[in-house]
Amino acid sequence: MHAPWKGLRVSDSAIPAQRRRRKEARPQELTAAALTLFVEKGYAATRLDEVAARAGVSKGTLYLYFDSKEALFQAVIREGVVPAIEAGEAMFAEPGSDPRALLRAFLEAWWERIGSTELGGIPRLIMAEAANFPEVARYYNDAVIQRGLALLRGAVQRGIDQGVFRAVDTTVIDVLLISPLIHLAGWRSSLAPCCGSNIDPDAYVQAHIDMVLQGLAVTSSGANS
């Protein structure tokens, strides 16, 4: 007997809602698993079958969403880090913002959304493996590093233009501002778990920001140096 349904494709609306939600969640489950493994093992040592196993799916399922480890890494950055950069760019675009509050907000947000999370291990991974995976490093540089540094430079230049920050070399100030926080994040994802640390991360971040703002402030005499 001919089956009338033979050859017909089941529409998405006919798939139970629970199964649809599971299918939609899989890319996020895969990127979450990949982030954990990238930070734990490094980019080179992480295998796609390990990512699939950690996410609870088959390797074939992983390939339905990501055709390579590089594509998976880019998705980790695009979903985890880029939204923080975009939020900073939106803050910077707001007219009349106080440069001091803006700079503090940028540094606090970086720590809260990136440095204090698993994503804080990504800069250490990139620095360690950039030479062996230049395309991965270039993607991270373009999507994250350069955009983030531009925000820090912009906040400082705005302060200089408004007379609340002294004149400084903006070609190096951006790296000087973020490097101590990257160091803290790298410490937490590498040495701290095995060697311990008595550093209070939140106190460290606030102390760094306070020193930055004091160092940038125009002196009481109004001099710029």
Q: Hey, what CATH topology would domain 12-69 get?
A: Arc Repressor Mutant, subunit A (1.10.10)
Domain ranges of the chain: 12-69, 81-216
Q: What is the predicted pLDDT for the residue at 1?
A: 44
81-216 is classed CATH 1.10.357.10: yes
User: What is the torsional sign of CA 97, 99, 103, 105?
Assistant: negative
Would residue 163 be called left, alpha or beta, if left means φ above 0 and alpha means ψ between -120 and 50 degrees?
A: left
Closest CA to 35 of 20, 51, 49, 56: 51
**DSSP per residue over 30-59, as a string?**
HHHHHHHHHHHH-TTT--HHHHHHHHTS-H
pTM score = 0.83
pLDDT one digit per residue (tens) for the chain, 225 residues: 444 434 444 444 554 544 444 454 589 999 999 999 999 999 999 999 999 999 999 999 999 999 999 999 999 999 999 999 999 999 999 988 899 999 999 999 999 999 999 999 999 999 999 999 999 999 999 999 999 999 999 999 999 999 999 999 999 999 999 999 999 998 887 777 777 667 899 999 999 999 999 999 998 654 554
Alpha helices in the chain (DSSP H): 17-41, 48-55, 59-65, 69-80, 82-93, 99-110, 122-129, 134-140, 146-162, 170-188, 192-195, 201-216
